[in-house]
């Protein structure tokens, strides 16, 4: 029996690619990746629904290095789709001959790799030239099958060898989803994810935040990037013209996540116990924080014009703390115009970090 390793994003196309191969009696195992910008939750649901094994790979650090300097550039936002697909398929090639156990037993090897890519569905990463580039750079020439568009692409080695019936593969192209939806009915698929939305790098708002992070902190790491997912972001400058990031939580989830993402040297600002309000986090690079833990009382402003804060001008640490406190009080709507107490906490070096 032929064995296929299918890149499983959790979207409909990769789900259908796996199902088409399963219909031929091919043993299919899913492969899903986790990074700072996407996860494996959707792929897990698909694997469970199709009754297939799933290999999960965390390549966050390697993926981030690629995102900072993609060989083939970005798409509409900060999405380096061609380089991302090539990196995933390089990993898939390694797994083909040396699969991790579990879920695979006895070091079984795979005959080929498959993806849910559709020719012409995405203008940058799924045109004929891009598909060929990804196949070549991944080292999978002849061993990569795109079941949804296979009849429009060169015949793979597995098809030539009779391991896969080319006649049972498809010739989908373009952005229409009609034929995919017809397959959903054919296979009795009850639940599937809508297209897009799985990768933060395709989101214009997140991409803008990430571009600024790379501009200000070229050495920014995973914990820095995680911060971009929560709260309101503000950039300030200290007296040494170093860029300082301030994040003010929007809700309880933001507050909880910011507390989990602290690292030594961060400043955490919280409302006094039993008082509801945002948590704020200040992070700077290569700068020793010289202030002390304290309880600060402020009058939360009823109105606040950002232009008056002059965030782009260099400021002392005390001024940065004061601005952060004002913003923390201002974004607690019920506290505006009232005196509130805030805890100013410096995260010590021995704090154990919890990366989520």
Residues 164 and 232 in one domain: no
Q: What mean pLDDT is reported for the chain? A: 91
Higher pLDDT among residues 356 and 10, named by residue: 10
Whether 105 shows a pLDDT value over 90: the answer reads no
Whether 262 shows a pLDDT value over 90: the answer reads yes
Residues 270 and 211 in one domain: yes
Q: Which of 83, 89, 85 is nearest to 66 (CA)?
A: 83
CATH code of the domain covering residue 103: 3.40.50.620
- Residue 107: which pLDDT band, with cuts at 50, 70 and 90? low
| Least confident residue range of 212-226, 236-250, 272-286 | 272-286
Distance CA 120, CA 171 (A): 11
Q: How high is the pLDDT of residue 354?
A: 41
- pLDDT (average), residues 29-39: 97
- Residue 106: which pLDDT band, with cuts at 50, 70 and 90? low
Q: How high is the pLDDT of residue 356?
A: 32
- pLDDT (average), residues 59-87: 97
Residue 301 in any domain: the answer is: yes
Q: Which of 109, 81, 93 is nearest to 143 (CA)?
A: 93
Whether 193 shows a pLDDT value over 60: the answer reads yes
Q: How high is the pLDDT of residue 351?
A: 44
Asked which of 200, 215, 249 is the last residue of a domain, the reply is 200
pTM here is 0.89
Residues 160 and 195 in one domain: yes
User: What share of the chain has pLDDT > 70, as a percent?
Assistant: 93
- pLDDT (average), residues 229-245: 93
Residues 216 and 246 in one domain: yes
E-assigned strands of 36-170? 53-58, 112-114, 144-145
Distance CA 322, CA 286 (A): 21
- Are 320 and 350 a contacting pair, CB within 8 Å? no
Whether 103 shows a pLDDT value over 70: the answer reads no
pLDDT tens-digit series, residues 78-93: 999 999 999 999 999 9
Residue 356 in any domain: the answer is: no
Helices and strands of the chain, counted as H and E runs:
12, 12
Residues 243 and 178 in one domain: no
Q: How high is the pLDDT of residue 353?
A: 41
Residues 46 and 112 in one domain: yes
Report the DSSP beta bridge partners of residue 3. Answer: 27
Q: How high is the pLDDT of residue 148?
A: 98
Asked which of 200, 230, 246 is the last residue of a domain, the reply is 200
- Residue 355: which pLDDT band, with cuts at 50, 70 and 90? very low
Residues 16 and 131 in one domain: yes
Distance CA 305, CA 47 (A): 50
Say whether 343 sits in a helix, a strand or coil: strand
Torsion angles phi and psi, residue 347, rounded to 5: -75, 120
Asked which of 142, 168, 200 is the last residue of a domain, the reply is 200
pLDDT tens-digit series, residues 239-258: 888 899 999 999 999 999 99
Residues 269 and 153 in one domain: no
Residues 188 and 244 in one domain: no
| Least confident residue range of 85-99, 177-191, 285-299 | 285-299
Containing domain of residue 64, as a range?
A: 3-200
Distance CA 166, CA 188 (A): 23
Residue 303 in any domain: the answer is: yes
Residue 169 in any domain: the answer is: yes
Residue 353 in any domain: the answer is: no
Q: How high is the pLDDT of residue 124?
A: 85
- pLDDT (average), residues 264-288: 87
> How many domains, in total, are found in the chain?
2
Residues 176 and 268 in one domain: no
Element (H, E) at 295: strand 294-299
- Please say whether the dihedral angle defined by the alpha carbons of residues 118, 120, 122 and 127, taken in this order, is positive or negative: positive
Residue 194 in any domain: the answer is: yes
Q: How high is the pLDDT of residue 53?
A: 95
- Are 119 and 152 a contacting pair, CB within 8 Å? yes
Residues 139 and 31 in one domain: yes
Residue 352 in any domain: the answer is: no
CA 24 from chain centre, in angstroms, equals 33
Residue 117 in any domain: the answer is: yes
Residues 165 and 225 in one domain: no
């Amino acid at each position: 029996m032929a064995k296929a390793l299918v890149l499983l994003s959790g979207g409909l196309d990769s789900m259908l690619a796996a199902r088409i191969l399963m219909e031929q009696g091919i043993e299919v195992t899913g492969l899903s990746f986790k990074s700072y910008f996407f996860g494996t939750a959707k792929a897990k649901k698909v694997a469970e629904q199709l009754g297939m094994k799933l290999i999960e790979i965390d390549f966050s650090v390697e993926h981030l290095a690629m995102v900072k300097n993609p060989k083939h550039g970005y798409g509409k936002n900060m999405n380096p789709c061609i380089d991302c697909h090539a990196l995933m398929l390089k990993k898939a090639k390694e797994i083909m001959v040396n699969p991790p156990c579990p879920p695979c037993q006895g070091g079984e090897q795979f005959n080929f790799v498959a993806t849910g890519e559709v020719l012409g569905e995405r203008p940058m990463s799924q045109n004929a030239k891009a598909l060929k580039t990804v196949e070549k750079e991944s080292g999978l020439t002849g061993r990569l099958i795109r079941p949804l568009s296979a009849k429009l692409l060169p015949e793979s080695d597995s098809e030539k060898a009779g391991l896969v019936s080319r006649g049972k593969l498809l010739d989908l192209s373009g952005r229409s989803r009609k034929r995919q939806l017809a397959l959903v009915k054919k296979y009795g698929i009850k639940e599937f994810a809508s297209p897009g939305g799985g990768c933060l790098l395709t989101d214009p708002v997140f991409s803008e935040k990430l571009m600024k992070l790379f501009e200000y902190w070229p050495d920014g790491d995973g914990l820095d990037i995680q911060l971009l997912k929560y709260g309101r972001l503000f950039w300030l400058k200290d007296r040494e013209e170093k860029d300082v990031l301030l994040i003010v939580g929007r809700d309880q989830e933001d507050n909880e996540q910011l507390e989990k993402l602290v690292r030594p040297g961060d400043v955490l600002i919280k409302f006094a116990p039993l008082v509801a309000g945002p948590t704020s986090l200040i992070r700077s690079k290569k700068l020793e924080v010289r202030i002390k833990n304290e309880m600060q009382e402020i009058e939360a402003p009823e109105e606040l014009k950002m232009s008056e804060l002059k965030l782009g001008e260099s400021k002392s640490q005390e001024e940065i703390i004061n601005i952060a406190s004002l913003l923390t009080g201002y974004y607690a709507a019920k506290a505006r115009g009232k005196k509130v107490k805030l805890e100013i906490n410096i995260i010590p070096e021995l704090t154990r970090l919890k990366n989520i």
